């Protein structure tokens, strides 16, 4: 008779990791004052290769590799994490260009974060240069099921034939 052993549950990770919120060219200490990171702790700057990573401490019991696998399946947890992450990125973007990190980018320590800045310096610097002086806007569009599209007469000349073609084009566009 053979038995299969269940894998032993792994003990929760202990200690603290470093959650990467985003990368900026520079950041004034006053900009970071009062900004809470992913775990509610203050964010801080980690310089490296002429760039600055904005990070926060993240307890590995909740933000370690195994815990993240589990927590990313929990929509409530995921929403809270995404909102906290976005709040930091949003605060940074008010001060200048920021390259946001992907959600759940956790490193072991500040030294590893600084190494990533060195390894990805050209890519990150190029992205920051493209973002400088620009703003991000969000636009939402809503479709009303069963709604009738407006078929107002757009201004313009051309007579009755042109008006008919404009109405017909608007109808086809609305149908699409």
Residue 104 lies in a domain: yes
Distance (Å, whole) CA 19 – CA 85: 9
pLDDT at 54 over 90: yes
Q: For all residues of the chain together, what is the average pLDDT?
A: 89
Number of other CB atoms surrounding residue 66 within 10 Å: 14
Give the mean pLDDT of 131-142.
89
Question: Is 6 part of any domain?
Answer: no
Q: How confident is the model at residue 163 (pLDDT cuts 50, 70, 90)?
A: confident
Tell me how many domains the chain contains.
1
Q: What is the pLDDT of residues 101-118, one digit of tens each?
A: 999 999 999 999 999 999
Domain contains 155 = no
Position 158 in a domain:
no
In a domain, 142, yes or no: no
Contacts of 36 (CB under 8 A, 6+ apart): 42, 43, 56, 84, 87, 88
Check whether 73 has a pLDDT greater than 80.
Answer: yes
Q: Three-state DSSP class for 167? A: helix
Supply the pTM of this predicted model. Answer: 0.74
pLDDT bin (cut points 50, 70, 90) of residue 155 is low
Whether 62 is in a domain gets the answer yes
48: containing domain: 16-131
């Amino acid at each position: 008779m053979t038995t299969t052993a269940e894998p032993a549950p792994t003990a929760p990770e202990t200690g603290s990791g470093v959650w990467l919120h985003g990368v900026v060219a520079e950041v004034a200490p006053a900009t970071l004052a009062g900004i809470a990171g992913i775990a509610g702790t203050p964010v801080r700057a980690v310089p490296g290769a002429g760039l600055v990573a904005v990070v926060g401490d993240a307890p590995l019991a909740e933000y370690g590799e195994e815990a993240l696998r589990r927590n990313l399946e929990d929509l409530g947890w995921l929403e809270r994490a995404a909102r906290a992450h976005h709040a930091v990125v949003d605060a940074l973007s008010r001060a200048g260009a920021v390259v946001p990190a992907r959600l759940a980018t956790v490193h072991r320590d500040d030294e590893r974060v600084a190494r990533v800045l060195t390894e990805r310096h050209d890519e990150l610097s190029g992205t920051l240069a493209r973002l400088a002086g620009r703003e991000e806007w969000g636009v939402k569009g809503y479709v009303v099921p069963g709604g009738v599209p407006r078929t107002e007469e757009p201004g313009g000349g051309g007579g009755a034939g042109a008006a008919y073609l404009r109405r017909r084009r608007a109808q086809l566009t609305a149908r699409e």
